[in-house]
Structure 1
Amino acid sequence: MPAQYASPVLFVTVYSTQFFVTASMGVVFAYLADLQDRYELSNIELGLIASVGFVAALAAQLLLSPLVDRGHARSIAWISVVTAVGGAFGFVFAHSAWSLVGSRALAGVSFGLFGLVARKALIGQDISGSGTKVGGLLSCGVAGFITGPFIGAAMSGIAFEAPFVFTGTVVAVLGPIAVVQISRSPIAASPVDYSHLAALLRRPRVQAAICVHVGVWGFVGMFDATVDRYLTDVGLTSGEFAAGLLMIGIPLILLPPHAGSLAERLGGARVAIPALMVFTPAVVLYGWVGGLWSFVLIGLAESTTESYSEMGSQVLILEATGVEQAAMGTGALEAIGLAMAAIAAQAGPPLYAEYGSRWLFGGWGVACGVLVIVAMWRLRAVKTPPKGMKLAH
């Protein structure tokens, strides 16, 4: 392996930049009510600001991921850094709903693209060891997203614009260093195009990974859209809610590198499918939360199994793509997950209002059970059972 790829500077700068790129996305969730009051936004405008970042991330991943595999990682990395800084400072100078939407869209483009180029650089020209590296990137992303609202809340006393100035400035400093390190990393390039993406989506391992990813991200979208209302109805205070969210996020910060390494050793399917099986009853139990500690215990079970499900599906994709199409494959997986999360987020609140938490989460638990069956059926079409990354191209 080339010496420059082993440099700790690559890992430190890429992981740190990923943390602050996702933190800048998370900051806004601590400000939604403030944004609505400050700019007199309607509920529709507020919902658009909250969701447009994920839509922009989805579009950017689908449209630009083949370019990363074609060898244009440096250009895409610069786009991701510039849009991150622009999105953060856009909230500083915004004066209308549409300027807020535009700023959020820029942040979403960065959120969608930086992970693509970071994974490609971390994987390099050797697929072995990528489970741990990609898991570390996921940990940093989750940590950033969880920390973002706390940055917003902590700095709001200084000025409304303070957290946006802070995250934008940090990315402006760290981002160019990360781009330089990404540019120096040996990246496996191949002449892929959108027809290759269609062919990739027909592969059984990819379809199985999508089933697992849809199960996880459908829950994430539903959870994010309803958990505040649900736990308020249960009787939790805002402080208890924030503390509970922080506690249940710990496995998603600590476990992905281990989960990725395990999936690489055993094969993605041997981690992803059992994890989704255990994830399913944890989803169902969310409908029976009665207080803070039941929320924390159920949440810890869910986030633990989510870590292994997510990393198992990522490794399944890498088994199918190898190094040459890694950006395109993982980008498509994430885009499908974001689309599923957006659909679930739209459907969750009215379903909760109409049927309650037990039917809502119980219904998605049934859906996850069906996805497990479909994933196992698709994996039966794989001629060589996956026994680890090295045998799975």
Structure 2
Amino acid sequence: MQVAVLMAMALFFPVGMYDAILDRYMTDRGASNVLIGISFLLYGIPFALLATYGGRLADRHGAFRVATIAVVAVVPLTAVYGVLTVPIVIALLFAVEGAVQALGVPATQSLVASAAPHGRSSAAQGLAGAMNMLGATLSAFAAPAVYGRWGAEGAFGGAALLVGLAGLAAASLRRSAAAVATP
């Protein structure tokens, strides 16, 4: 269960940070309020369009594989925001990241459901959701201070680091569990 929850949590670290600093970050780069709102839409719309496909990918190719690809892709996508200065480019990157997240989140939900003990799938999804919110809340809490002290590079680089570390921890736990299970 820890592997599944860590993979799910990894994808939510950037979400909390965006909620906390996206407006300031985009305003600092000269974006209008309209473009900031459009940026949120560009991030969210792919979820409506691609989440079902993401679930099919997880079913077809393996939930851990799809979740891992999403986590690996989200690391550089998150980090690169720190060096971007053109608001429209940032908004377009939000659409790309939204698509990656839309494909990865269903895979993490599948991991959680598969790892749950029989009859406890709903409780497991609740645990994963709570941990996602905890991760997002921690990054939302830290992001304004990090952004104020170290700028966009520090804030987005730090969030990317959290995503990567959670993904690496999940992969390590998975390998350890597989090694123990192998006679």
Query: What is the TM-score with the length of structure 2 in the denominator?
Result: 0.90
The equivalences for 1:116-131 within 5 A come to: none
1:342 lines up with 2:148 in the alignment: no
Residues 288, 358 of structure 1: 8 Å contact kept: yes
1:253 lines up with 2:18 in the alignment: no
- How far has the Cα of 1:292 moved from its partner? 2.7
Residues 38, 91 of structure 2: 8 Å contact kept: no
Pick one of 95, 109, 134 that aligns with 1:300. 95
Rounded to whole Å, the distance in 2 between the matches of 1:228 and 1:286 is: 13
- Partner residue of 1:288? 83
Structure 2, unaligned runs of 5 or more: none
One-letter amino acid of the counterpart of residue 68, structure 2: I
- How far has the Cα of 1:279 moved from its partner? 1.0
Residues 318, 329 of structure 1: 8 Å contact kept: yes
Matched position secondary structure for 2:7? helix
Matched position secondary structure for 1:293? helix
- Partner residue of 1:369? 164
- Partner residue of 2:110? 315
Matched position secondary structure for 1:324? coil
Rounded to whole Å, the distance in 1 between the matches of 2:31 and 2:118 is: 46
Indicate the structure with greater helix content: 2
One-letter amino acid of the counterpart of residue 218, structure 1: F
Matched position secondary structure for 2:163? helix
- Partner residue of 2:21? 226
Rounded to whole Å, the distance in 2 between the matches of 1:216 and 1:377 is: 17
- How far has the Cα of 1:323 moved from its partner? 6.0
- How far has the Cα of 1:267 moved from its partner? 2.1
Rounded to whole Å, the distance in 2 between the matches of 1:344 and 1:364 is: 7
Residues matched between the structures, number: 179
Runs of 4 or more above 6 Å deviation: none
Rounded to whole Å, the distance in 2 between the matches of 1:378 and 1:255 is: 29
Residues 17, 159 of structure 2: 8 Å contact kept: no
Distance 1:327 1:358, change over 3 A: same
Residues 13, 163 of structure 2: 8 Å contact kept: no
1:354 lines up with 2:149 in the alignment: yes
One-letter amino acid of the counterpart of residue 91, structure 2: V
- How far has the Cα of 1:291 moved from its partner? 2.4
- Partner residue of 2:38? 243
Matched position secondary structure for 1:255? helix
Q: CA RMSD in A?
A: 1.7
Rounded to whole Å, the distance in 1 between the matches of 2:122 and 2:163 is: 26
- Partner residue of 2:121? 326
Residues 267, 315 of structure 1: 8 Å contact kept: no
Distance 1:213 1:355, change over 3 A: same
Structure 1, unaligned runs of 5 or more: 1-205, 385-393
- Partner residue of 1:208? 3
- How far has the Cα of 1:242 moved from its partner? 1.2
Query: What is the TM-score with the length of structure 1 in the denominator?
Result: 0.44
The structure with higher relative contact order (CA 8 Å, sep 6+) is 2
One-letter amino acid of the counterpart of residue 296, structure 1: A
